[in-house]
Amino acid sequence: MNRHIYLIFALIFFGCLPVLTYSQAVWTVSSADAAKKNPVPANDKSVNSGKSLYNAQCKSCHGDPGKGNGLPLVPKPQDPTSDIIQKNSDGALLYKISNGRGAMPRFKDVIKDEDKWNIINYIRSLKKGKTASSETSVPDAIIQSFEGKVELAFRFVDSTKTIIVKAVNPKEGVLIPVPGLGITVFAKRYFRDLKLNADALITNADGEVEVDFPGSLPGDSIGNVLLLARVTEGVSDSVAVSAQIGWGKPFVYINPRSERSLWNSTWMAPWWLLLSYFGVVIGVWGTIFYIVLEVGKLKKIGSQQAS
């Protein structure tokens, strides 16, 4: 019996050993694979499609870029902005994404090569200090000044419904970007404004943060949502800016009191309830009235017979 227990422990120990040593190993890629050049130019189109692929296929483990909120696995799925990922050559990234290792899935046949390169272009666009190169269209922009300290501006990129908030410091007519501010974007709601990013996002070297607009967010009857960006870390005064955009799902408010229902006032109660109620009331009173009538008749008959 005892011997069995030792055997089990020994099996568990030696069984785990390769996993333990393996997980700590540096992930090396052959020089031929590492030298592979990226054939896809890193333009807006490629970066945008890489971004949506990343969000769909990688974000669940690697987290939001720059936030280090990946899954707590061992080894950890690194943040795409981290040096560990960025110091890979493009070819090495392709190899690792294609082949996977341990908990990192093998995407060789799941994502076609061109899309892998798009993801790599996106990952490169996240490199610290580099601008997000996805500012393609600027449908709305509102700048609100706050006494020369910090200004926030909204910019919207429609293809992927991205909100970009830029923090600048106006100095002698020039707007100087302010990096390192914590910004939170809210959608205005009736009771408590809805945060679109859980933790404050830190502005990059261009003073910008990017927030994805949640596709399912309801707006007003024509889909307008009032957005609010606030500096939540970095300055003591509250700095905020708001802008409206028609990206929400149109939502028509139906007053529950305008429909017949049990909780509604008497005349808005359901028909079946009104019918059965008045049916019973009329029935009972009708019966009583009928009885009184019959008793009246009896009295009449009695007086006729007496005479």
Under the rule (CB under 6 A), what is the footprint of ligand HEC? 27, 57-58, 60-62, 73, 75, 77-78, 84-85, 88, 93, 96-97, 101-105, 107, 111, 119
- CA 203, CA 211: separation in Å to the nearest integer? 11
Pull the structure tokens for residue 133.
């190169």
Least Å from the CB of residue 50 to ligand HEC: 9
Residue 93 or 227: which CB sits closer to ligand HEC?
93
Nearest approach, Cβ of residue 70 and ligand HEC (Å): 8
Closest CB to ligand HEC among residues 23, 224: 23
* One-letter identity of residue 192: R
Residue closer to ligand HEC by CB (options 74, 293) is: 74
**30 CB-near residues (< 8 Å, 6+ apart):** 95
User: Dihedral, CA atoms, 70, 164, 127, 96, nearest 10 degrees?
Assistant: 50
Rank residues 83 and 237 by Cβ distance to ligand HEC and give the closer one: 83
**Shortest spacing between CB 120 and ligand HEC, in angstroms:** 8
Q: Tell the smallest beta-carbon distance from residue 40 to ligand HEC (Å).
A: 14
Under 8 Å CB-to-CB from 48, ≥6 apart: which residues?
122, 134, 136, 159, 160
- Report the b/e string of 13-36 with b at 16+ CB within 10 A: eeeeeeeeeeeeeeeebeeebbeb
Contact status, residue 178 vs residue 150, Cβ threshold 8 Å: yes
* Nearest-approach distance from CB 98 to ligand HEC, in angstroms: 10
User: Which of residues 67 and 149 has its CB atom nearest to ligand HEC in the complex?
Assistant: 67
